[in-house]
Amino acid sequence: MSSTPPLSTPLPHEELDRRLAALPIGYHDLHPDASVNYQMNRFYSWVGDPTMLSEMREAVTDVDDYPTFARIFLDLGEKALSAGENLKGAAYIRIAEFFLPTGDDRKLPTRNRFVRTVLDHYEVPAESHSRIPFQQGWLSAYRFTPAEPLGAIVVFGGFDSYIEEWLAAGLALRAAGYDVVLFEGPGQGATLEEAHLPFRADWQTPVGAVLDFYDLDDVTLMGFSMGGGLVLRAAAHEPRVRRTISYGVMTSFLDVNLHIFPESVRAQLLSWLDNGDAAELDDFLGKAAAQSLLLEWAIEQGKHTTATDTAFEMFQAYRDYETASVSARVTQDVLLLHGNEDHYIPNQHFVDQVALLTAPNSLTTRVFTRHEQAQNHCQVGNFGLALRTIVDWLDGLRRRDDALAAS
């Protein structure tokens, strides 16, 4: 049984500290493949059970293919759930689901089991969840409201996250006094898998639907991972967003995907894209994916989330997911969060984004380091520090605005 209080119960201020202290600190060497290692750290970091570290190290020694990873983590998940270790079991199930390819008959049932297990663990009542009508489908959203909210914060994820992974963080923000909405837009989670809506670059449109549905104004909008770019695209067009948090600064999703290649290869891929040489690009990437677990996964996931049939079409779609064309229109208070050893997002994206934001009301930047165990993508290894940084920033803005109103 979870120790989480019912969501309707007002929480004392010190509850935030307790929740953040429960999140582990440390980025661990669990597998030689950087991407596989990251995924295991990612889901462990929401659980913090140290037995997971030894179990995962022993289980995946010398494993280098996705089918075996999926089988191992499904077995670990069943073992943990049978022992009543529900959050640990949910993490293992989610890792297994991550490694299952699109189209595998086990993928959606495994995803649904993960979602049910974490909702049960955190005792999230059904009335906290909404399906927000959106075009020909719907957006999946949760709302957690304290007794006397300090303000509203609306959060969404990125390329492969499920918003239920972020429940611990959402409840921590609720404990800090904020009215919290967590949602999945097109291309994400249930909105993709059940409502069948693929990604779209005009992110202000789903954000606007969420704000309309909950009748929200004067909100903080936060996107993490790929959402760190989408959040700026939305903020540039949505006046109800007053504060913007880019949690994983991403100026170009196409560049992120090309970054794994040497510079000369990137230039060739861009040339093929510019010249419409689809056959050459698809042939090259097909061969390259056979040699890279990360690329194999990224291409399949990308085609699925963008509803494209080929790598060429997928990469062409990625051109629209950039911030250079919108950053000058962002006038809110902005917080940029970046890990200086992020293996997905090059450091140059952070540097470029600072330069591109020419008109914010205020701009605050925070670069996390290895010394803090927060150097990696979205601060996996020290989620608590990232959340504390966010809360402190929001508290500082509130004190500033109160002082200005009183002057």
Q: Find the mean pLDDT for residues 292-301.
A: 89
Going by the DSSP 8-state scheme, the letter that residue 5 receives in this structure is: P
Q: Find the mean pLDDT for residues 325-349.
A: 97
For the segment 246-279, what is each residue's pLDDT rounded down to a tens digit? Answer: 999 999 999 999 998 999 999 999 999 999 999 9
What residue type is assigned to position 130 of the chain? Answer: S
Helix (H, G, I), strand (E, B) or coil at 183: strand
Q: Find the mean pLDDT for residues 164-177.
A: 96
What's the pLDDT score for residue 165?
96
For the segment 193-237, what is each residue's pLDDT rounded down to a tens digit? Answer: 999 999 999 999 999 999 999 999 999 999 999 999 999 999 999
Q: Find the mean pLDDT for residues 296-305.
A: 94
- Cα 149 to Cα 145, 163, 177, 179, 241: the distances in Å are 7, 21, 5, 6, 17
Ranking 75-89, 144-158, 290-304, 325-339 by mean pLDDT, the lowest is 290-304
Helix (H, G, I), strand (E, B) or coil at 334: strand
- The answer, yes or no, to whether residue 12 has pLDDT greater than 80, is no
For the segment 349-394, what is each residue's pLDDT rounded down to a tens digit? Answer: 999 999 999 999 999 999 999 999 999 999 999 999 999 999 999 9
Q: How far apart are CA 160 and CA 163, in angstroms?
A: 10
* Rounded percentage of the chain residues whose pLDDT exceeds 70: 97
Q: How many Cβ atoms are within 10 Å of 284's Cβ, its own excluded?
A: 17
Q: How confident is the model at residue 13 (pLDDT cuts 50, 70, 90)?
A: low
What's the pLDDT score for residue 4?
41
Q: Which residue has the tokens 């290895």?
A: 370
Q: What is the mean pLDDT of the chain?
A: 94
- C-alpha Rg value of the chain to the nearest Å: 20
Q: How far apart are CA 94 and CA 45, in angstroms?
A: 13
